[in-house]
Structure 1
Amino acid sequence: MPKLATPLTDVQVRNAKPKDKPYKLSDGGGMYLEVMPSGTRTWRMNFVQASGKKNRLTFGQYPETSLLEAREKRTAAKKLLNSGIDPAEARDNDKAARSENANNTFEKLAREWHTNKIPTWRGSTAKDTLRRLEIDIFPQIGSMPIASITHQQMIAALRKVEARGAVEIAHRLKATCARIFSYANQQGIENRNPAQDLKDVLKPVKAGHFAAISTDELPAFLAAMNQNDARLFKPTRIALRLMMLLFVRTSELITTPWSEIDLEKGEWIIPWQRMKRGKLTINPDKTNHHVCLSRQALELLRELHTLTGGGVYLFPNQRDHEKPMSNGAILMALRRMGYQNKMTGHGFRALAMSTIKEQLGYRHEVVDRQLAHAQKDKIASAYDRAIFLEERKKMMQDWADYIDQIAANKIVPPKFTQHAA
């Protein structure tokens, strides 16, 4: 039977002096204090691996590691052994895990996540997302191990963005960071995801809409448009009127090639690849969009063809005719009319939606299809666009006639047939 060691006392450990040769002071259970001639005193523990091979653990040096702390480490090692776990292997694995966690910084994981998302994003989205992280987040928490980032550190980084008045950007960054933390967790790199639950910490984003005039303001707007014709390039003047008549998206109008327009048939069909929903990387909507030209819109297009029909685009850039009109041209024209911050290109869509429903009596679904809004049900989407086409053609002509009545100061309730709600 092996001889049981008498446990050490604090006094014995404190008074252990160096000798000419190393010696040991046993505390039992395989643990001892090794005293070196240099005066270094180290806690160690001998144990036998499952293979029968002897091994040794080191618990730290005295007095940095006290007798009590060394005994706690011995107890933990014994528990591992009793569970069939080699404490030396567990120690090495833990050390490797800590090293890996230290290398898994927020910036490293963020760039991995960003690279994985690039195939599903537009180029501009990928560029803007990384740029925002590089400007606002990486300088604050980028170099930190992702597992160590606290809620307070995440909040501090976002509040710096918020402090300069960029409240909406702060909220977008919060959502982006939450996805990055989630990505790390999915990779097996555990973290608290401190960006996920910050619902009430940041200032709320004020709800906003694209500036748009109301139906009551339409007469004054049309008058201002006529009064400012001389100040605008003729193509720009026509672009404004087509925005009013057709209420397509600004980007869809200014990038339209003449190859999409059939002046003889009076048709304009935008290929799905040019539509907002068609540009999605995942599940794009492959439905071509019928713009439905009114008589007035067709007249404007024929007039425009005499000006720009020899080129590629309906609205070529003034400086480089091989490129389309600038996105800001419509806003610049509205500013010259005195409607800065009162009306936008998107505002024509909001104006048409509300006025056509309220004044002309058309159903929401019909106007919605003409606006090319996304539908949740793809089958219903294709069906609706087909079945509403004739109704949409009539609606667009009624809308153009209604605008003519307003322009002619005939401000009376429209006499068009009211459509069933």
Structure 2
Amino acid sequence: MRLTNLTIQSAEPSQRPWKLYDEGGLFLLINPGGTKSWYLKYRFLGREKKLNLGTYPSVSLKDARVERDKARLQLAEGTDPAREKRLRLAAAKLGAGNTFKIVGEEYLEKIAKEGRAAVTLRKSQWLFSLLERDLGALPIHSIQPAEVLIPLRKIEAKGNYETARRMRSLAGRIFRYAIATSRANSDPTQFLRGALITPKVEHRQAILEPRAVGALLRAIDGFKGQPLTQLALKLIPHVFVRPGELRRAEWPEFDFDRAIWTIPSTKMKMRQPHMVPLSRQSLELLREAHVLSSTQQYVFSSLYPGTRPMSENTINGALRRLGYSGEEMTAHGFRALASTLLNESGKWNPDAIERALGHQEANSVRAAYYRGQHWNERVEMAQWWSDHLDELRAS
């Protein structure tokens, strides 16, 4: 006999559980405490089993019949509905414990243990925070390409095209980590190739004309700011390292007797140690800096409290004070200046110049060969370059 809502509503609990039966194995269990639970009784592979379909009135009589019919369709297909329900619950529980936030934080912790540079970690954490706002609570295995596109579009709408591109790249690395650790089956970011606006490549600004280089060097000589800032400005044309490598230089990295500065791999963009031959002029500037900061960790330390390296904006700010705009010259531009004039001189092997710039050869065997092959040439080139800068300054 088919149940009715009136029959269900009027059913009162008793001292022992009792049942109201519907059709097709569906019944309602009335418990002594007053709760009313839906069950489906069925047979699978010769065994009698029960499937919990929820409680009344949260699950209405109509809804219970719909769930019964779905379960009986699964039975007709040879599937045990109770087992399927357990698998769905387990997947949901697993998904709740493996959200994009959880897996992403685990990935960031992993790359931190691998020794990535602090600046790289900070940038990755910042990019992750932009993704987390929209994706953090979602199970990572269920995230669709369109959902990843939402936070990317928000950043893109502000005109930050490069940031959006880097966000997509980081998200892809997190998804691939999830795949490798059996928590996702695909990387949805691969379907977003071409979906974002391609940022226009802007080359770092640099003065490249020799006469203008001489004027820049004379302007640096006349800098009236902090002495350590002036020494950093004077040294960077000679060594043409990345600005971050210069400002985070520490005294133990310098061997004055051998005239070598060894930058550890943790500070290098390519994660390989880099040796910089020091000219007489470079050594003299470092000795001047030693008088000012020998008791501190960093060669070019911040003034207050003196336990941190100078700000990443210090050199660029000094150039602005000297009258050079961001469209004319930047701290990073000294690398382009050196690369251009060294190559134009025709005196040096291009591979030696690339090694001096700290550019890493992709082939590790070839990299080791060329590192040793060009060291003597790099030592000679370092002194020639400093002498050439002096000539440009005096011209």
Short-chain TM bin = 0.7 to 0.9
Q: Does 1:372 align with 2:358?
A: yes
Q: Within 5 A, what are the aligned runs for 1:261-280?
A: 265=257, 267-273=258-264, 276-277=267-268
Q: Report whether the alignment pairs 1:330 with 2:315.
A: yes
Name the structure 2 match of 1:116. Answer: 110
Aligned match of 2:334: 348
TM-fit CA distance, 1:192: 5.3
C-alpha change, 1:394 and 1:109, in structure 2 (3 Å) is closer
Task: Specify which of 95, 102, 106 is matched with residue 100 of structure 2.
Answer: 106
Q: Is the 8 A contact 2:247 2:300 kept in 1?
A: yes
- Tell whether the 8 Å contact from 2:19 to 2:28 is kept in structure 1 after alignment: yes
Q: Is 2:158 the counterpart of 1:164? A: yes
How far off is 1:407 after superposition? 3.2
Q: Give 1:64-75 correspondences, 5 Å limit.
A: 64=63, 70-71=68-69, 73-75=71-73
Go from structure 1 to structure 2 and tell me whether the alpha carbon gap of 1:309 and 1:268 turns closer, same or farther (over 3 Å shift). Answer: farther
The aligned residue for residue 14 of structure 2 is none
Q: For 1:113-262, list aligned pairs within 5 A.
A: 113-120=107-114, 121-134=116-129, 136-190=130-184, 193-214=187-208, 216=209, 218-227=210-219, 229-232=221-224, 233-257=226-250
Matched residues in 1 for 2:286 and 2:26: separation? 95
Aligned length: 374
SS state of the match for residue 207, structure 1?
coil
- Tell me if 1:392 matches 2:378: yes
What is the distance in 2 between the residues matched to 1:195 and 1:391?
Answer: 45
The separation in 1 between residues aligned to 2:349 and 2:164, in whole angstroms, is 39
Separation (CA, whole Å) in 1 of partners of 2:182 and 2:289: 61
Given residue 219 of structure 1, which amino acid in structure 2 is its aligned partner? R
Q: Residue 217 of structure 2 contacts residue 393 of structure 2 at CA under 8 Å; is this kept in 1? A: no
Distance 1:35 1:310 in 2: 83
Residue aligned with 1:55, SS: strand
Partner SS for 1:93: helix
- 1:318: how far off? 4.2
Does the 8 Å CA contact 1:148/1:191 hold for their aligned counterparts? no
Q: Taking structure 2 as the reference length, what is the TM-score of the superposition?
A: 0.77
**Partners of 1:332 and 1:301 in 2: CA distance:** 21
Can you give the 5+ residue segments of structure 1 that lack an aligned partner in the other structure?
A: 1-11, 410-421
Aligned CA distance change for structure 1 residues 41 and 129 (closer, same or farther; 3 Å): closer
Q: Which of the two has higher C-alpha Rg?
A: 1
CA distance in 1, matches of 2:263, 2:155: 38
Tell me the distance in 2 between the aligned counterparts of 1:150 and 1:355: 50
- Residues 249 and 150 (structure 1 numbering): CA distance in 2 closer, same or farther, change over 3 Å? closer
Counterpart residue type for residue 178 of structure 2: A
> 1:104-156, CA deviations, whole angstroms, 9 ceiling, x for partnerless residues?
4332333333333331234444444334433x233323223334433332222
CA separation in 1, counterparts of 2:314 and 2:37?
Answer: 80
Report percent identity of matched pairs.
Answer: 28
**Residues 269 and 194 of structure 1: CA distance in aligned 2, closer, same or farther (over 3 Å):** same
Q: Which amino acid aligns with 1:397?
A: Q
Provide structure 2 residue ranges, at least 5 long, that are not aligned to the other structure.
Answer: 12-17, 54-58
RMSD: 3.9
TM-score under structure 1 normalisation? 0.73
> Alpha carbons of 1:325 and 1:70: their partners in 2 closer, same or farther (altered >3 Å)?
closer
Distance 1:78 1:355, change over 3 A: same
2:15 aligns with: none
**Superposition deviation, residue 309 in structure 1:** 7.7
Query: What residue identity is the alignment partner of 1:226?
Result: R
Equivalents in 2 of 1:318, 1:25: separation in Å? 82
Aligned-pair CA distance for 1:369: 1.9
Give SS of 1:271's match: strand
Change (3 A) 1:244 1:130: closer
Specify the SS of the correspondent of 1:223.
Answer: helix
Q: Aligned residue for 2:388?
A: 402
Instruction: Give the secondary structure class of the aligned counterpart of 1:197.
Output: helix
Indicate whether 1:47 and 2:43 are aligned.
Answer: yes
In 2 relative to 1, CA 94–271 (structure 1 residues): closer, same or farther, beyond 3 Å? same
**Aligned partner letter, 2:172:** A
Residue-by-residue CA offset, 1:217-262 (whole Å, 9 max, x unaligned): x312422442453443455444323222232333443444556556
**Alpha carbons of 1:360 and 1:47: their partners in 2 closer, same or farther (altered >3 Å)?**
same
SS in 1 for 2:42: strand
Q: Secondary structure at the match of 2:360?
A: coil
Q: Distance in 2 between matches of 1:299 and 1:189?
A: 56
